[in-house]
Structure 1
Amino acid sequence: MEIVAECPVLPGCVSQGRTREEALANIREAIELYLETEEAPELPTAFEVAEAEVIV
């Protein structure tokens, strides 16, 4: 099973991992790489943080 992580503020910034920890580490790296690109959008000054867990 793969766990998918995404950053909704950055369109298309998605990653995955075999564990929650791996998925979080991978999305952190994806965010860093995304922000290094020339197409990186200006980030909003305020945003909401939410977390959801789905068990199948």
Structure 2
Amino acid sequence: MRQVILYRDEDGYWVVECPSLKGCVSQGKTKEEALSNIKEAITGYVAALEEDGLPIPEDNFETFLVVV
């Protein structure tokens, strides 16, 4: 299980990032497509780390809303 951040870009696509896995980013035309794509990206990312014998980073970050 991983936490992800989902937001809409200037072109109208949904972008989704997994902060605990640097560079693990995907997108989709809909939220559902973006979330499906990031699941696939996370699975591939973790598989590549395991294949290379590298440690899998823990999912440990906090989110906050800042009022400005």
Is TM-score (shorter-chain normalized) higher than 0.5? yes
- Cα gap change, 1:34 to 1:49, in 2 (>3 Å): same
Q: Which has the higher contact order (CA 8 A, sep 6+)?
A: 1
Structure 1 segments unaligned to the other structure (5+ residues) = 51-56
Aligned-partner residue type, residue 13 of structure 1: C
The aligned residue for residue 27 of structure 1 is 38
- Give aligned-pair identity as a percent: 47
What's the RMSD between the two structures over aligned residues? 2.3
Which ranges of 4 or more aligned residues in structure 1 deviate by more than 3 Å? none
Structure 2 segments unaligned to the other structure (5+ residues) = 1-11, 64-68
* 12-21 or 34-43: bigger deviation: 34-43
Name the CA distance, whole Å, in 2 between partners of 1:21 and 1:49: 24
| Alignment: residue pair count | 50
| TM-score, normalization by structure 2 | 0.60
Over alpha carbons, which structure has the higher Rg?
A: 2
